[in-house]
Amino acid sequence: SPLLPRNGTCQKTSVVVLGAGMAGITAAQALSNASMTDFLIVDVNSYVGGRVAHTTFGKDPYGNPYTVELGANWVQGLGTPGGPENPIWTLAKKYNLTNTYSDYSSILTYNENGALNYSYLLDDFENAYSLVEEDAGMILSQDYQDHSFRTGLSLADWKPKKNMLQQAAEWWEFDWEYSYSPDLSSETWAIVNYNTTFYQFSDANNYVFDSRGFNTIIQGEASTFLKPNDTRLMLNTNVTAIDYSAKDSVTVTMSDGSCITATYAICTFSLGVLQNDVVEFTPAFPYWKQEGIEGMQMGTYTKIFLQFPPDQQFWDADTQFFLYADPIERGWYPVWQSLSGPGFLPGSGILFVTVVYSQSYRAEAQSDEVTKAEVMEVLRKMFGDDIPDPIDFMYPRWSTEPWAYGSYSNWPTGLSIETHQNLRANLGHLYFAGEATSAEYYGFLQGAYYEGQYVGTKLAECIKGNNTACKDEASYDVIRGCTTSSKNLSPENGWDVTSFQTWGF
Ligand SMILES: Cc1cc2nc3c(=O)[nH]c(=O)nc-3n(C[C@H](O)[C@H](O)[C@H](O)COP(=O)(O)OP(=O)(O)OC[C@H]3O[C@@H](n4cnc5c(N)ncnc54)[C@H](O)[C@@H]3O)c2cc1C
């Protein structure tokens, strides 16, 4: 049996924290802050940080590689004097993370014939966006039915249809953030998500390019409560099964057959991991839980890095962004970012382009060589035929990474807060936390930070004997609202033939 412990019994602990990303570390830190020392942190990777991951890329003039971020890259929303501060920004300052303000007005626009100024379309989109904000406010405050962000944009008279310049402007303003198109995203939750970060903290995005890596902040926090080589941190440890059938414990089994029995477990595995049945849960999840898991969307966001000979840089050195509108396919290698300019890695010759959703799946499924040929074709349309070939090229494959299965979550049209809460809710002594469980900061590092901290604090209180803290999180067996009442399935509404009939088969 896969549950057979290696030494006859499972290792015992009070709380097992599954995952050493942002949520896992803030959960364990909360336990530690409450003077609880009896916990274990388990992660399949060899490092602390999860989806905040970097690698080396290219070479500087001395032959040393640069560091680039494969996952999270920006501190999104900082803070204002006297106002609330994004905890990620607090950590960025604490660890002196190297970062630069991303200036979204530093952008040049292109189509298949080269440079073409359509930056006024960005303003047009933003005007429509203001109307969508008002619409979302009305929906939320009046209990109206949500609709897609596309519906909101169309109501605001932003209708890109076949205009590929407008489509590119829209991609820059929307898909690049949410990793899905407006058609597939909830209007109200996209607005909520934007507002809680960018109106509460600040509207700045600061790009991190620290040679130690962005995950320095997570590793730094881990080392505030873990000793060097602390045996409570179990890296390179792959969880294959989680059994929460006992009333007062959870048993976690690893791929090597070893196991841990804990009074409580906090699972911070990504939504992609939960959706792809990587871990066998016993008993199988009830319908409401599974619906919560399947209901939220896992997006994919792929950064494709290129280094060009630094002495042959062909793009404007002082511009941060270059937007490409493909004449045929929306989202085709659209947003290009230079790391070669002032404030970043000057003279590095590094450019990267981002794709999401179907273009990510496509690029991630094909070889580097095929993708390189595609991106170079786009660059030659933008900058002319005589640009050099890259001297280095690299990109991650988030959609197929077995410990992530995607980049970060997005709230689809039609998902209620109750169904989302079902993703977030505990099952007995098995708790969940991570960016995707955050109703307001989903997708962001601060979402993972707050969710981990919340569950860690709660369980510490509970274990210390505060029974109110042991109360189950809200969950919903049946979800109504935002639905069609069956009495309205009537001919008056054009419902003439029942779809519940069968003709004897
Ligand atoms: C490409 C990309 C760009 C992003 N850009 C930004 C950005 O600019 N700003 C921002 O704020 N956020 C950004 N994010 C989102 C941010 O990275 C996440 O919100 C955050 O890192 C999630 O933390 P987490 O703890 O919830 O999950 P994770 O970091 O995924 O942690 C979960 C951990 O569980 C481990 N695990 C999974 N399965 C198993 C298993 N079976 N056994 C053992 N361990 C397992 C994983 O190894 C992982 O370390 C980006 C993410 C990506 C991928």
Q: Is the pLDDT of residue 484 over 80?
A: no
- Span from the CA of 300 to the centroid of ligand 1 (angstroms): 12
Mean of pLDDT values over 125-144: 92
Residue percentage of the chain with pLDDT more than 70: 96
Could you identify the residue written with the tokens 């273009």?
359
Q: How far apart are CA 127 and CA 228, in angstroms?
A: 52
Q: Give the per-residue pLDDT at 262.
A: 98
Decide which of 489 and 471 is more confident.
471
| Residue identifier of the C-alpha nearest atom 29 of ligand 1 | 50
Does residue 66 lie within any of the structural domains? yes
User: How many residues can be counted in the chain?
Assistant: 505
Q: Is 319 found in the same domain as 267?
A: no
Decide which of 498 and 167 is more confident.
167
Range with the poorest average pLDDT among 76-90, 109-123, 485-499: 485-499
Residue 164: give the domain boundaries. 54-210+301-400
Q: Is the pLDDT of residue 1 over 70?
A: no
Q: Give the per-residue pLDDT at 8.
A: 64
Q: Is 377 found in the same domain as 342?
A: yes
Q: How far apart are CA 28 and CA 42, in angstroms?
A: 11
Residue 483 — pLDDT band, cuts 50, 70, 90?
low
Q: Give the per-residue pLDDT at 433.
A: 98
Q: Is 203 found in the same domain as 75?
A: yes
Does residue 316 lie within any of the structural domains? yes
- Total number of domains constituting the chain: 2
pLDDT (tens digit, 9 = 90+) per residue, 373-428? 999 999 999 999 999 999 999 999 999 999 999 999 999 998 988 999 999 999 99
- Span from the CA of 141 to the centroid of ligand 1 (angstroms): 33
Q: How far apart are CA 205 and CA 57, in angstroms?
A: 23
Q: Calculate the alpha carbon distances from 363 to 22, 71, 414 in Å.
A: 27, 16, 29
Mean of pLDDT values over 264-289: 98
Q: Which atom of ligand 1 is nearest to the CA of 451?
A: 26
Q: Which of 51, 73, 297, 335 maximizes ligand 1 atoms within 8 Å of its Cβ, making it the mutation to test the pocket? A: 51
Q: Calculate the alpha carbon distances from 371 to 122, 260, 357, 382, 393 in Å.
A: 28, 43, 15, 17, 10
Mean of pLDDT values over 115-132: 98
Q: Is the pLDDT of residue 106 over 90?
A: yes
Q: Is 185 found in the same domain as 124?
A: yes
Does residue 363 lie within any of the structural domains? yes
Q: Is the pLDDT of residue 501 over 70?
A: no
**β partners of residue 66:** 57
Q: Is 175 found in the same domain as 131?
A: yes
Q: Is 451 found in the same domain as 420?
A: yes
Q: Is 449 found in the same domain as 325?
A: no
Q: Which of 408, 437, 442 maximizes ligand 1 atoms within 8 Å of its Cβ, making it the mutation to test the pocket? A: 408
CATH number at residue 456: 3.50.50.60
**pTM for the whole structure:** 0.96
pLDDT (tens digit, 9 = 90+) per residue, 462-478? 999 999 999 999 999 98
Q: Is the pLDDT of residue 345 over 90?
A: yes
The amino acid present at 387, given as its one-letter code, is I
Q: Which of 422, 427, 400 is nearest to 272 (CA)?
A: 400
Q: Which atom of ligand 1 is nearest to the CA of 279?
A: 41
Q: How far apart are CA 215 and CA 218, in angstroms?
A: 5
Chosen domain end from 400, 431, 457: 400
Q: Which of 268, 262, 237 is nearest to 250 (CA)?
A: 262
Q: Which atom of ligand 1 is nearest to the CA of 445?
A: 11
Q: Give the per-residue pLDDT at 141.
A: 85
Q: Give the per-residue pLDDT at 482.
A: 55
pLDDT (tens digit, 9 = 90+) per residue, 347-372? 999 999 999 999 999 999 999 999 99
Does residue 327 lie within any of the structural domains? yes
Chosen domain end from 372, 400, 428: 400
- Span from the CA of 377 to the centroid of ligand 1 (angstroms): 32
Q: How far apart are CA 263 and CA 253, in angstroms?
A: 15
Q: Is 305 found in the same domain as 270?
A: no
Structure tokens at 379: 């660059």
- Span from the CA of 211 to the centroid of ligand 1 (angstroms): 20
- Span from the CA of 462 to the centroid of ligand 1 (angstroms): 27
The CA-based angle 485-490-496, given to 5 degrees, is: 135
pLDDT (tens digit, 9 = 90+) per residue, 215-265? 999 999 999 999 999 999 999 999 999 999 999 999 999 999 999 999 999
State the complex-level ipTM.
1.00
If residue 272 lies in a helix (H) or strand (E), which one and from where to where? Answer: helix 271-275
| Residue identifier of the C-alpha nearest atom 1 of ligand 1 | 71
Q: Is 187 found in the same domain as 41?
A: no
pLDDT (tens digit, 9 = 90+) per residue, 4-15? 555 568 999 999
If residue 262 lies in a helix (H) or strand (E), which one and from where to where? Answer: strand 259-267
Q: Is 81 found in the same domain as 187?
A: yes
CATH number at residue 96: 3.90.660.10
Q: Which atom of ligand 1 is nearest to the CA of 436?
A: 26
Write out the binding residues for FAD.
Answer: 239
Does residue 170 lie within any of the structural domains? yes
The CA-based angle 177-181-182, given to 5 degrees, is: 95
- Span from the CA of 372 to the centroid of ligand 1 (angstroms): 26
Q: Is the pLDDT of residue 502 over 80?
A: no
Q: Is 320 found in the same domain as 203?
A: yes
Residues with CB under 6 A from ligand 1: 19-24, 42-45, 50-52, 71-74, 76, 238-239, 268-270, 273, 278-279, 301, 398, 403-404, 407-408, 434-435, 444-445, 447-448
Q: Which of 64, 114, 51, 52 is nearest to 307 (CA)?
A: 64
Chosen domain end from 400, 429, 453: 400
The CA-based angle 338-344-345, given to 5 degrees, is: 85
- Span from the CA of 472 to the centroid of ligand 1 (angstroms): 25
Does residue 160 lie within any of the structural domains? yes
| Residue identifier of the C-alpha nearest atom 33 of ligand 1 | 19
Q: Is 15 found in the same domain as 135?
A: no
Q: Give the per-residue pLDDT at 2.
A: 44
Q: Give the per-residue pLDDT at 494.
A: 72
Range with the poorest average pLDDT among 136-140, 271-275, 390-394: 136-140
